[in-house]
Structure 1
Amino acid sequence: MRSRRDMTASSIPAYLRTLALAPESPVPMHRQLYFAIREAILDGSLKRGTRLPSTRTLAQDLDVSRNTVLAAFEQLTAEGYLEGVIGSGSFVTLRLPEEALQVRAEHGAHTKGKARPPGPSRRGADLIKMAGSRPRPTTFSPGMPELAAFPFELWSRLLAKHWRDPPASFLVGGEALGFRPLREAVAFYLRTARAVRCTFNNVIIVSGAQQALDLAARVLIDPGDKAWVEEPGYPGIRGALVAGGAGLVPVPVDEEGLSVAAGQSLAPDARLACVSPSHQYPLGITMSLKRRLELLEWASAADAFVLEDDYDSEYRYAGRPLAALQGLDADGRVIYVGSVSKVMFPGLRLGYMVVPDHLIDAFTAVRRLTDTHPPMLAQPALAEFIEAGHLVQHIRRMRKLYAERQAIFIDACRQELDGLVVARPAEAGMHLVVTLSQGLDDRAVASAAQAENIDAPALSGYFLGPPNRQGLLVGYTGVPEATIRRGVLGLRQAIRTVAAR
């Protein structure tokens, strides 16, 4: 009569009885066993439907731990090479995963041209069109700050100070509205620098101004609601509104800012008006006090809201920065949005919004549903950066530097682009709108400029409807003097290339 050991050995497939594992190999034992069995199944050494020995039996025969065999079997089962049958054991599958993939590929080949997987929704397709594509930051990118002038040594010390031995509260999460000391610092800064009426309770820390626009659209807009947008205007606002289901109503901008009278004529029942009153993007116009009051009167009468995008108001080169529109609002209609990306560096991705008291709970709830809370990493350092006065000092230094660079750019244009463009000084902002003198198509010039490593978007691309003017947006703030002058020469080449066609 055979021993139990002999009976067990005879039940093991011949291939497995000859299998040798190498304990000295850097590959873990369970991975060696997995690869060996998988290869045997694929080359037919282990036939389909073959019953494998129990994990205990195979472990004894191979002189390895049972956990090694269990790990290998679990992986093979998960990938479809083995099937487990309760009460019977593990079997080689009758249909290998490679065959299933082949059938799927052949099916796709047979149906090519007849049926396609579903694509994005109509709203998604609209957003894709709006997003377009932009080149990587190059010479003259609008809105790019001077990164080399930022006090990174100071910033790194603040980060190290708060994260060398962080409290547990930094590690396990954060408040939906943001780190309270940062909200307090932002509220103080906005009250003193921008005449915004708020306490820290009204401040929400966001991952850049774009998230603030998205949150506002989610909270304030129902599908089908109309929203005024500036024409021409910032594409990021339009994208957030379309994502929220809004119908965009382009309202012309004149020398006093967004035309409230035109907006009332086009869509008097709009739910929301989006404006950049301190420095309109892209034209650079400052909304007059008369027009600001008209806008607030319309919002009150129409039971609507105003979204104020205050994206670069710190950089005003003539007089003090103008007070925010929000400071004139006594009716809780204005949602104020700002960012430190253009003041510090874009990769920081921190911004803020100021929300009226009666909307705080709604914004808090929606914020929790989107990304729970802003990342904690930079918030404590930014709070101290603001509280200690470093932000104001940095803005003051950059305001002087940027004014000098604007003058250098205009001087270079007069020397090298006389008769080709008109570049006039502006009292504020981080870019200029340069007018083309020869009636050239601004999109063609912008495309030719990219070949010269110049990012100067076409003004006509910022219109929703037919553009009534053309030009180029040229950023000068993040460009040293020598690069400005080289860039102007590249711009001249791009203009001449298009003119010669």
Structure 2
Amino acid sequence: MSATQPNPVPALDPASAEPFYRQIYDRIRGAIASGVLKPGDRIPSARALMKELGLARGTIETAYGLLAAEGYIQARGQAGTVVTPGLKPRMPVALPRPPSRSGIAAASFRPDSILPFQMGLPALDAFPRKIWARLGGRCVRSMQPADMAHPPVHGLQALRVEIAAYLQLSRGIACSPAQVFVTSGYRHTMELITHALLKEGDRVWLEDPGYPPTRELLGHMRITTVPVPVDGEGMAVAHGIKVAPRARAAVVTPAHQSPLCVSLSLPRRQALLDWAARNQAWIVEDDYDGEYRYISRPLPALKSLDRDGRVLYAGTFSKVLFPAIRLAYLVVPISQVERFEQISEVFAGGSPTLTQGIVTAFITEGHFARHIQRMRKLYAERREAATAGLQRVLGQHMTIDAPPGGMHLVLRLHARRSDRKLVALMREDGLYAEAMSDWTMGADVDPALLLGFTNIDNQATVEKLGRRILRLL
């Protein structure tokens, strides 16, 4: 940049809810749109901007990565980084963002990024994209006019058949294809359940701590949520019976409790099923990553113990394939099939037939089962590498829980510092984490970080990232 050219990154606002990398991105994009920076102009190097702003280099590189991905800038090696030649940008209309209640950037539970330690992402680098592309091409070439009409709202019949067969073999669930409803994700699954079985004012048990979007969705639908504490055996069923014995439903994650990853013990599984049968209540089993257990075989599903038709089993392809696929499924009791067919006709638009066809072929030809086996082995290795690397760097500051299953680690802070503030600092540095405090409904929990390990491939990388966290402590 010439000495006369104005700085495209004026002073950042440390009190803003926007992370620093986003502020840098917005300022440079604004300078390009307003003509302050013209096509071909050089912008400051990451090293220079790092020194000028006093930020970590990763923060600058995250902002520059977004600008490059959207075509605003180009790296020219030793010649530096320049505004893309010939660019004719149009500044999008900026929509106002609601202020964060805590003054810290709110966590997103459906982020569109791929950041180190990001939760909820499978190993995208290990997905068999060539096989997927081949199957996709074949499905496109064989498409008939009937495949181009509205998709079936209950799900493609061939896929429902494959899901029912898979659940019988892998999770011990005996169900017919008619009981399987294909949805566009967990939220859609919960919407169908709520519309079909619950009404405004009903009380529902939720694990505490537990997955925040569940309580948010039920709250918007005016369902009263009842926090039930979780200990080493999972949801404390006796507590739920004590505080809300007539609740209409309970939402549980029995295989790997979200986020603590403990398993619901057999006595508590039986107690939960007995409570539901006595009170004609419903149990929603969210089996979001039950396939991934590393010290023994995957645990049988709670649904496999259901003899009274009170359990609704929710599964997803997001964790075993990839989130962008937007496919999940719900198994309902036989007695409720007709009711869910009616609700699906009203509220479901149907997932794309082409996508369902590719998934069906992926399962039918054996790729799905092989992929899960490979990922189970790979995640066990990455879990061990992440635990060892973080322990080596952060062991004096945190206790690292490596649960027997799941896709994330729990890092418990030794000092009583705010996990929310540390998460905000990590986001500004281009790292992902979630705060245990954001997963509670009022329970007094020790501060902790939730870190995904599935997309980090070796211990050296983990240690390097751990040192970035150490600098933020």
**CA–CA separation in structure 1 for the residues paired with 2:465 and 2:188:** 33
Letter in structure 2 aligned against 1:406 = R
Match of 2:227 in 1: 250
**CA–CA separation in structure 2 for the residues paired with 1:202 and 1:246:** 25
SS in 1 for 2:154: coil
Structure 1: runs of 5+ lacking an equivalent: 1-119, 121-125, 496-501
Match of 1:452 in 2: 429
Match of 1:494 in 2: 472
Matched, 1:375 2:328: no
2:185 is aligned, of 198, 202, 208, to 208
**CA–CA separation in structure 2 for the residues paired with 1:186 and 1:399:** 19
Q: Deviations 1:105-137 (Å, cap 9, x if unpaired)? A: xxxxxxxxxxxxxxx9xxxxx9xxxx8646644
1:411 is aligned, of 374, 388, 396, to 388
Contact 2:208/2:443 (8 A) holds in 1: no
Match of 1:397 in 2: 374
Letter in structure 2 aligned against 1:327 = S
Matched, 1:299 2:276: yes
**CA–CA separation in structure 1 for the residues paired with 2:250 and 2:156:** 29
Match of 1:153 in 2: 130
SS in 2 for 1:384: helix
- How do residues 107-256 of structure 1 correspond to structure 2 at under 5 angstroms? 133=108, 136-256=113-233
Q: Deviations 1:19-48 (Å, cap 9, x if unpaired)? A: xxxxxxxxxxxxxxxxxxxxxxxxxxxxxx
Matched, 1:338 2:315: yes
**CA–CA separation in structure 1 for the residues paired with 2:345 and 2:239:** 37
Match of 2:263 in 1: 286
SS in 1 for 2:353: coil
SS in 1 for 2:431: coil
**CA–CA separation in structure 2 for the residues paired with 1:275 and 1:285:** 12
Contact 1:162/1:381 (8 A) holds in 2: yes
TM-score, structure 2 normalization = 0.75
Q: Deviations 1:182-208 (Å, cap 9, x if unpaired)? A: 000011101100111211111111112
SS in 2 for 1:163: helix
Match of 2:444 in 1: 467
Following superposition, the deviation at residue 317 of structure 1 comes to: 0.5
SS in 1 for 2:143: coil
TM-score, structure 1 normalization = 0.71
Matched, 1:263 2:228: no
Following superposition, the deviation at residue 312 of structure 1 comes to: 0.4
Match of 1:54 in 2: none
**CA–CA separation in structure 2 for the residues paired with 1:243 and 1:297:** 29
Alignment RMSD:
2.0
Structure 1 stretch displaced more, 282-291 or 445-454: 445-454
With over 3 angstroms needed to count, the CA separation of the structure-2 counterparts of 1:440 and 1:132, relative to structure 1, is closer
**CA–CA separation in structure 2 for the residues paired with 1:406 and 1:225:** 40
Contact 2:283/2:311 (8 A) holds in 1: yes
2:326 is aligned, of 328, 349, 363, to 349
**CA–CA separation in structure 2 for the residues paired with 1:468 and 1:153:** 45
Contact 2:206/2:226 (8 A) holds in 1: yes
Q: Deviations 1:194-235 (Å, cap 9, x if unpaired)? A: 111211111111112221111111111100000000000001
**CA–CA separation in structure 1 for the residues paired with 2:144 and 2:398:** 57
**CA–CA separation in structure 1 for the residues paired with 2:370 and 2:257:** 25
* Percent of paired sites with the same residue: 38
SS in 2 for 1:377: helix
SS in 1 for 2:386: helix
Q: Deviations 1:220-252 (Å, cap 9, x if unpaired)? A: 110000000000000122123223321010000
